[in-house]
Every structure is written in C-alpha cells, then in structure tokens.
Amino acid sequence: MRTLKMTVAYRGTRYHGFQRQPNAVTVQGELEKQLSRVLNGDTTVYGCSRTDTGVHANEFVLHLHTEREIRCKNLVRAMNGYLPDDISVLACEDAPADFHARFDCKGKEYIYRIHCHESKDPFRTDLAFHYRRPLDAAMLHQAAQAVVGRHDFHSFCAQAKPETDCFRTIYGASVERDGTEVTVRIRGDGFLYNMVRIFVGTLLDINEGVFEPDALPRILAAKDRLSAGRTAMAHGLYLNRVFYDLTEIQTYSGI
C-alpha cells in the first residue's frame, strides 16, 4: 500500500468548502470522484485543513492510500485531465506510510486579498474583497504586529467556548499594498474557525476608526468574540502555503 502526498490548488467560488458534505458540491468530493476513476477503485483523501464556502487555496496538501503502481507524474496528468478547471493538481509524491496531511502539518500561511477602488473589478469579483474606502496599509501593517507571538485568540474565534484551547503562535503578519490591491498575510502554527477573517475584519474596522490603531492587544486580552470586529467576506481568503517543517515556518521569508 502506497501513501501519496498530493498538492492541489482550487478556486472555491462554487464549492461548499473543502470537506465532503451530503447534498453539496465540495472540493474533496470532486477530488475523490476523479481519483476513484483514475485509480479504478473507491479512494478517500485526507486534507491538511478545512476551508469554508467560497474560500480559495493556492496550496492545499492532502494524502491518500492506493495499491496502484501508477507513476506520480502520470497521476497528476490524468487528474488534471478529468478535474474541472477550478481545481488543479500541482504535485504528487510518494510519502512515508505514516504521513498524515493534517496531523503532520506544522503551520499554514493565509492571505486575504482586498481590491481598493471606487469601481468593482469584474475580473476579481469572487477573488478579492471590493473595498471602496481609502485604506492606510502602513498603519494597518503596524497594528497587525500585535498578534505576532503566542496569544489566546478567543476573541478571534467564531465558535469558541470558554474552555476551548485558543492559544496559537503567529510567526508573521503583514499588510502590503500594490496599486489597488492590498494583501494581508498571516503565518502561524494553527488557526481557529474564522480566525483570519475576523482578524482582517478587525483591521478594516481599525481603518474606519471603529477601533483605535493600538486596539489589538486590548481585544486579545478580552477573550471575547464581541470585542473584536466584523468577519471579512470569505471570497478574499486563500490558504497560501502549508508547512511540514517547523524551522521552515519560523524562518520563512514571505513575511
């Protein structure tokens, strides 16, 4: 029995997230359908994470088991021939028998794309959040540094109970502007439900004066979802990188 590690990318617009659901179109469901076709037998994939409806992935890692001797290169080609245009297999390799895409993951990087312009861009309507207000990227970048380090992120979780362990380590956070596009990046050892979207929404509220620029430490200390800002729309969010080496995530120069 082989264990294969596969890296995929997908545009999440028409999917109800990654995880398989009854009576809903999901990325996992589409991958399993085509893998079962190529490998000539029912195939289950195990993802590194869950993504919500409308969320995208530039890099998403999964693993699967098969007894087929198909070459990884040929499996990639076959899958990309059958998959819809909004899902692509980027790479495939043999992995150790005990490799697990989720449990072996050391951390992830998410990005959130914001289109800052008075007029909407018809080519980015489901790929970036349209924001009409002036946005001070330098100020928000400075504000974002407050989440770097190990903190209790209760205030940034949509469904956390008081007893939930919400401690996470953030290795890097940034807000960068390139013309009309602003990209929020955050890299950490793990993320809670809607954590990144609430973080981005809170930054937007800081930009609009709802919170003061130095509000993030106070919001973290409150350990209360109601103390933080809005939840940003799903379609601006991307799982950007997945890390399986702790040193790599700590020293990654992307942020």
Q: Where are the domains of the chain?
A: 2-95, 107-251
pLDDT of residue 252: 77
Point out the residues that are catalytic. 52
From 13, 247, 230, select the one nearest 128 (Cα to Cα): 13
Distance (Å, rounded) from C-alpha 92 to C-alpha 61? Answer: 10
Distance (Å, rounded) from C-alpha 87 to C-alpha 11? Answer: 7
Q: Please check whether residue 77 is in contact with residue 88, taking contact to mean a CB–CB distance below 8 angstroms.
A: no
How remote is the C-alpha of 113 from its chain's centroid? 12
pLDDT, tens digit only, all 255 positions of the chain: 999 999 999 999 999 999 999 889 999 999 999 999 999 999 999 999 999 999 999 999 999 999 999 999 999 999 999 999 999 999 999 999 999 999 999 999 999 999 999 999 999 999 999 999 999 999 999 999 999 999 999 999 988 778 889 999 999 999 999 999 999 999 999 999 999 999 999 999 999 999 999 999 999 999 999 999 999 999 999 999 999 998 888 887 665
From 106, 80, 105, 1, select the one nearest 44 (Cα to Cα): 1
Distance (Å, rounded) from C-alpha 200 to C-alpha 229? Answer: 9
Output the DSSP codes for 213-253.
Answer: TT-HHHHHHHT-GGGS-----GGGEEEEEEES-HHHHHH-T
Point out which residues pair with 112 in neighbouring strands.
184, 237
**How many Cβ atoms are within 10 Å of 25's Cβ, its own excluded?**
12
Q: Do domains 2-95 and 107-251 have the same CATH topology?
A: yes
Which residue matches tokens 């495939």? 92
What are the distances in angstroms from CA 56 to CA 75, 111, 189?
23, 10, 19
Q: Which CATH architecture has domain 107-251?
A: 2-Layer Sandwich (3.30)
> Looking at domain 2-95, does it have CATH number 3.30.70.580?
yes
pLDDT of residue 253: 67
Backbone angles phi, psi at 245, to 5 degrees: -130, 125
As a residue count, the chain comes to: 255
Print burial letters for 172-201: b (CB count within 10 Å at least 16), e (below 16).
bbbbebeebebbbbbbbbbbbebbbbbbbb
